[in-house]
Amino acid sequence: MPAEFIEADAKREAAALGELLGDTRVRFHRRETPPESSEQLMNLDREIRQVLAQPLSTGLQLEIRGLTARLRALDPR
């Protein structure tokens, strides 16, 4: 059952990325994120929403991890 385990991890990581994105949006609207990163954050927001709308797969899980790292780098709170 390794495929189910990977799928469960991917679901968990996708949910965590969605939460992180939501938290970042709140900070962005409160002007708590670095102002110089606003355009990058908006572009990353769009990219994340597109990725999270796709069916889960191993490749998508890797994308989610990369997007999570990029989002944390832009807004490290």
The pTM of the full predicted model, rounded to 2 decimals, is 0.85
Residue 8's pLDDT band (boundaries 50, 70, 90)? Answer: confident
Query: Per-residue pLDDT tens for 42-54?
Result: 999 999 999 999 9
Of all residues in the chain, what percent are helix, strand and coil, respectively (each to 5)? Answer: 80, 0, 20
What's the pLDDT at 1? 40
pLDDT at 7 over 50: yes
* Buried b or exposed e, range 2-19, using 16+ CB within 10 angstroms: eeeeeeeebeebbeebee
Task: Report the length, in residues, of the chain.
Answer: 77
Cα separation of the two ends of the chain: 36
What's the pLDDT at 5? 53
